[in-house]
Structure 1
Amino acid sequence: MAEEDYAYPLRADWTTSEIVTVTTFYQLVEAAYERSQGVQAVELIAAYREFQTIVPQKFEEKNIDQEFEEASGYSIYRTMKQARQQDGQVKMKGTTRS
């Protein structure tokens, strides 16, 4: 499991509603790694689409993914790749931290 003392990558110009949406997405990515049953792929993809309305630029999404991975050890990119490749549950293994 990831250490619980990291901060999510958030932007100062996001509204409270946008922060809630992005945080919900981050929590689902975490759950794909931490929950024994993982998360539903459809739920993760829906949350990712909402995330993309707040972060529509790919370069910004990549920056946020890198910040999130450095902080948590979890990859948004790899999680979403798996979610798109399968139906049902998404269960990620391990972390990217050493």
Structure 2
Amino acid sequence: MTEEYNYPIDVDWTTEEVIDVVQFFEAVEMAFDKGVASGVLKENYNRFKQVVPSKAEEKTLFREFKQNSGMEAYQAVKQLKDTEEDGQMIKA
């Protein structure tokens, strides 16, 4: 989280939507850094999906995030979907 890069943001989003998207990407960073509880990532991903319901737009944002950070958000989300219980740690 000490890295300096831009999160993929849409100028048409409200301030609240921007916060939801940034919090999701911060949770992804935690998954790569030290791990994140599956419940935390799930909550943030669900809010992200309310802002970005389109799978195509999600893929575009994930690609931009990877280009900016080197982290693959898809890996964290895939682990989350493969996890059966809340509380398990997701480490991408």
TM surpasses 0.5:
yes
The answer to whether residue 66 in structure 2 is matched with residue 72 in structure 1 is no
RMSD: 1.3
2:27 counterpart of 1:23: no
- For structure 2, list consecutive stretches of 5 or more residues without a partner in the other structure: none
Q: 3-state DSSP class of the match of 1:14?
A: coil
The Cα shift of 1:78 comes to 1.1
Alignment of structure 1 residues 45-64 onto 2, 5 Å = 45-64=42-61
CA-CA distance at 1:3 after TM superposition: 6.9
- Percentage of pairs with the same residue: 37
Q: After alignment, is 57-66 or 3-12 more displaced? A: 3-12
After TM superposition, the score normalised by the length of structure 2 is 0.90
Amino acid at match of 1:13: D
* 1:7-61 alpha-carbon deviations (Å, 9 max, x no partner): 00001001100011111101000000112xx101121011101100000111000
Tell me the distance in 2 between the aligned counterparts of 1:58 and 1:3.
Answer: 29
Q: Distance in 2 between matches of 1:3 and 1:66?
A: 20
How high is the TM-score relative to the length of structure 1? 0.85
Cα distance, 1:4 vs structure 2: 1.1
Report what 1:32 is aligned to. 31
Structure 2 letter corresponding to 1:9: P
Structure 1 counterpart of 2:6: 7
Are residues 1:84 and 2:77 paired?
A: no
